[in-house]
Structure 1
Amino acid sequence: MEAVSKVYGRGRGAVAALREVTASVPRGRFTAVMGPSGSGKSTFLHCAAGLDTPTSGTVRLGDTDLSGMDETRLTELRRKRVGFVFQAFNLVSSLTVEQNITLPLRLSRTRVDADWLAEVVARVGLGERAGHRPAQLSGGQQQRVAIARALVTRPEVVFGDEPTGALDTMTARDVLTLLRETVDDMGQTVVMVTHDPVAASYADTVLFLADGRIVDSMDAPSSDRVAARMTRLGAWK
């Protein structure tokens, strides 16, 4: 992202959600994005992932400039090159685990690689649940399905928007460990928006947002250091 700003509304009612944000996310790394409520975290993710168009500035995925793309091309890019994991699992209740995982491939009319599918299902620990439907799974298992669905297209980057926000502490730890393993073992790139210092401690780097700007970053974060930095973000000038 280069000098990305996002303004909602016009005139006196305009709200600047992002203000000339410049940031780069390295391949094969786990990056967390944190900030107080209203700091621009979700807008950051939506602009970076091509879900929303910046008011100004440029967004690139690898060598591809998203700025000039129409919605049809953005949709195609998101299907093939980007994975998403949200707080709400967004699974289709009438489909099995395997059918939910392969849904992005079917939507893009891409052949399912049976070996890769088996590996992804095994990695998220759902080998014995492939024929189950979401209602037969725990919340943590449903989020594992969502992660597998994000990975099955072999995306260049996986974006997580509060992916553990609806989970209890122990289940959240399992899901965060799984995301960490996708980076360490599979070379995946993960960008996660979170409000939880413990969740952020699983990342390689934390970017801190306040008032629509990146105000700090932290490598090799610990939950205590992240929490301490968060308490001072609101006072940033």
Structure 2
Amino acid sequence: MSPAIRLQDVAKVYRTGQTEVTALHRVSLDVPRGEFVAVMGPSGSGKSTLMHCAAGLDTPSSGEVIVDGVAIGGLNETRRTELRRERIGFVFQSYNLVSSLSVADNITLPLRMARRRADPAWVAELVERVGLTERLHHRPAELSGGQQQRAAIARALVARPAVVFADEPTGALDLRAAREVLALLRRMVDELGQTVVMVSHDPAAAAHADRALVMADGRIVETLLRPTATELATSLMGAQEAAFTMAGES
């Protein structure tokens, strides 16, 4: 079976006038289906650029990105948007729920935008799994931060995507709510076989992943399997030192 996400020699160069900044240096990566991958690194390491290119939100300068077996480089913007709606789910740090809609309508919004019918049994299962059965008719402002993020996770899963990208999903949450959200993502991988790629600066969050990729200066400098928070903190410090060294050599 093909991986959920494949990057082949992906590079990203930003140009401003005569200045060039290389955010990704020919990164290659496979994310198997049903795996929870965390991407870590110091500020400016390229982790957000990696996610944006992998999710089709940004276009690489070179290389190829394949999502669920589809090479997205040759797609026009309309087809790329359709692919994101159908095969990719997103969870953001700021939740991005629509304030005027109920929880139920926020969860099913991606289906309505794609003009697809909701599967009532699947929606009900998701709502139960995220613990919001009693909150379906509430507006986002009536929910806690953790509840809003759980609604956002249900929304990301409602279209049964090939992969869910989570960008600092616990960054705005207190410790208890963050643990609940991370445990929920872990269960979605273990119980539903969902593929999750999470960008995080927090070693404790990344320790929930099957595999952690540590980045520095636009490169994956270390891969850890079933990492502990302590191992990740040590690796992150090493990545920061590597970034300083690379910056000094450039």
Which residue does 1:111 correspond to in 2? Answer: 117
Which residue does 1:23 correspond to in 2? Answer: 29
Q: Is 1:42 paired with 2:42?
A: no
Offset of 1:230 from its aligned partner?
A: 0.8
Which residue does 2:221 correspond to in 1? Answer: 215
Which residue does 1:169 correspond to in 2? Answer: 175
Supply the AA of the counterpart residue of 1:137: L
Partner Cα distance (1:95, 1:15) in 2: 41
Q: Is 1:71 paired with 2:77?
A: yes
Supply the AA of the counterpart residue of 2:15: G
Which residue does 1:134 correspond to in 2? Answer: 140
Q: Is 1:7 paired with 2:13?
A: yes
**Residue correspondences, number:** 237
Counterpart pick for 2:91 among 82, 85, 90: 85
RMSD: 0.9
Gaps of at least 5 residues in structure 1 are none
Give a deviation string over 1:91-115, Cα, whole Å, max 9, x none: 0001000000000000010001111
Which residue does 1:186 correspond to in 2? Answer: 192
Offset of 1:11 from its aligned partner?
A: 5.5
Supply the AA of the counterpart residue of 1:34: M
Partner Cα distance (1:63, 1:226) in 2: 31
Structure 1 residue runs of 4 or more that deviate by more than 3 Å after TM superposition: none
What is the TM-score normalised by the length of structure 2?
0.93
**Is 2:110–2:155's contact at 8 Å kept on the other side of the alignment?**
yes
Give a deviation string over 1:137-165, Cα, whole Å, max 9, x none: 00000000100000000000000000100
Offset of 1:170 from its aligned partner?
A: 1.0
Which residue does 2:205 correspond to in 1? Answer: 199
Which residue does 2:4 correspond to in 1? Answer: none
Which residue does 2:3 correspond to in 1? Answer: none
Gaps of at least 5 residues in structure 2 are 1-6
Which residue does 1:157 correspond to in 2? Answer: 163
Partner Cα distance (2:17, 2:98) in 1: 41
Partner Cα distance (1:72, 1:24) in 2: 25
Partner Cα distance (1:21, 1:87) in 2: 25
Which residue does 1:235 correspond to in 2? Answer: 241
Supply the AA of the counterpart residue of 1:134: P
Offset of 1:40 from its aligned partner?
A: 0.6
For the residue of structure 1 that corresponds to 2:221, the secondary structure is strand
Supply the AA of the counterpart residue of 2:11: S
What is the TM-score normalised by the length of structure 1?
0.98
Offset of 1:10 from its aligned partner?
A: 4.7
Q: Is 1:145 paired with 2:160?
A: no
Sequence identity (%): 61
Supply the AA of the counterpart residue of 2:55: A
Q: Is 1:55 paired with 2:61?
A: yes
